[in-house]
Amino acid sequence: MYQAASVYARNAQVAQSPRELEANLLIKAASRLQNIQDDWAIRAPELDDALTYNRKLWTILATAVTESTNPLPREIKQNIANLALFIFNRTVDLMIDPKPERLTVLVNINRQIAMGLRTRPEAAQPAAG
């Protein structure tokens, strides 16, 4: 049974669009941070690993979005780059002075970007009629 579930999970990951994969990874990072925040007394030791995962994810996203071959408009590229810089700075701040309430902004950014990635672009939506 476990083997079948494992095969299904691998195939589901392969079948995801890049946008959906990015959204899922952002939600995963947000969930890890939220779980730590919600159970700070017990899970605070997990903070560095969760922040490192989130930072690596944002490094990949920022690198991909700012490549010259990326077709996104310049303004969106700049906004993602600015968000990434904010996240990197907040991560360093949290590693120096960890406080659970300071995780909220990272969780919210990840969730909002994931929600945006899951929204279909208007050009791809069928015309009403």
Model pTM score = 0.79
Q: 12: how many CB neighbours lie within 10 A of its CB?
A: 10
Q: How does residue 6 score in pLDDT terms, banded at 50, 70 and 90?
A: low
Please state, in angstroms and rounded to a whole number, the distance separating the CA atoms of residues 45 and 66.
33
Please state, in angstroms and rounded to a whole number, the distance separating the CA atoms of residues 96 and 93.
5
Please state, in angstroms and rounded to a whole number, the distance separating the CA atoms of residues 111 and 41.
24
Better-scored residue on pLDDT, 12 or 39:
39
Q: Is the pLDDT of residue 124 over 70?
A: no
Q: 29: how many CB neighbours lie within 10 A of its CB?
A: 24
Q: Is the pLDDT of residue 68 over 90?
A: no
Q: Mean pLDDT for the chain?
A: 86
Please state, in angstroms and rounded to a whole number, the distance separating the CA atoms of residues 2 and 8.
10
Domains of the chain: 18-120 (1.20.120)
Residue whose C-alpha is closest to residue 40's, from 98, 120, 106, 115:
98
